[in-house]
Amino acid sequence: MAKPKNETLLSIEKLEVVYHNVSTAVLGVSFEVRNHQIVALLGINGAGKTTTLRAISGFLGVDDAKVTEGLIQFRGEKIQNKPPHFITKKGIVLVPERDKVFENLTVEENLQVSVSLRKSRASGQDFKDLILHYFPVLGKVGNHLGGYLSGGERQMLALSTALVCGPRLLLVDELSLGLGPIIVDELMNLIKVIRDEQQVTVLLVEQNALAALEIADYGYVIENGRIVFAGDPDRLRNHEDIKEFYLGQGERESQKSYRDIKQYRRTRRWYG
């Protein structure tokens, strides 16, 4: 299969998001995701990562939040403040940080819900074969309730239900949350395989910067609702400030932010 052209699929321009008409959570964020890329959006808890994904996917309304400024464009079409069903039909599918699966439904039933939501000539068996190709373990727990799955199995099921929807852009929120290193490595590698085989573009939100940069084509660092740094994985891994604060390398002081470290380094250079 020919590789898609490296055109801009998603464009975010000066995005601002406000909760309850009072609290601003995202402040002028701008970035882009190109076709067939895996793009990592990195940052600590509360940086604005999940809010950005919810703005793209249309789920801000359930939190009494909205985009108040800026643009979100998918394939050149403005989609900010559109409802989730509209955005899903366009080909954007979210794997959320929490509430990933229906806990009172079995694995098979969770998948069937997603199959029924997608209008396609492909059969349920086609989708089942697709899922078992990537996540064979789900075939062994098909009759288990979602609430009784392990963390890794639940994440696999969440990714499966998203794939069944046939996304062009897959939004994955905290893939590594609560999982051990081995399963994190396995899932990260699967994301890359799925990208290549299914021609899916991925925007990956992660606190685990090291794991995300292993598979990403490009990365952005968000802090306090703003993008503070961007670059390819090598540039991010080799940047002293990023290494010190986000990659657990160097002499990092607890609770320091990227901006704190950057200002400290500037001051140290200035005064010798």
Q: What is the DSSP letter of 70?
A: E
Confidence of residue 246 (pLDDT cuts 50, 70, 90): confident
Whether the Cβ atoms of residue 72 and residue 30 lie closer than 8 Å to each other: no
Pick the closest to residue 207 from 51, 48, 98, 45 (CA basis). Answer: 45
Amino acid at 12: I
pLDDT above 70 covers a percentage of the chain that reads 85
Cα 24 from chain centroid (whole Å): 21
Amino acid at 175: L
Per-residue pLDDT tens digits for 154-210: 999 999 999 988 899 999 999 998 899 999 999 999 999 999 999 999 999 998 999
Per-residue pLDDT tens digits for 169-184: 999 999 998 899 999 9
Task: Pick left, alpha or beta for residue 20 (phi over 0 → left; psi -120 to 50 → alpha; otherwise beta).
Answer: left
Does 244 have pLDDT greater than 90?
no
Question: Token pair 């727990």 is at which residue?
Answer: 141
Per-residue pLDDT tens digits for 17-63: 999 988 888 999 999 999 999 999 998 888 899 999 999 999 998 88
pLDDT above 90 covers a percentage of the chain that reads 63
Per-residue pLDDT tens digits for 59-77: 998 889 999 999 999 999 9
- Give CA–CA dist 46/50, Å, rounded: 8
pTM for the model stands at 0.85
pLDDT at position 123 = 53
| Domain architecture of the chain: domains with CATH | 8-102+166-235 (3.40.50.300), 239-272 (no CATH)
Q: What burial class does residue 184 get, using C-beta atoms within 10 Å of its C-beta: 0-12 exposed, 13-18 middle, 19+ buried?
A: buried
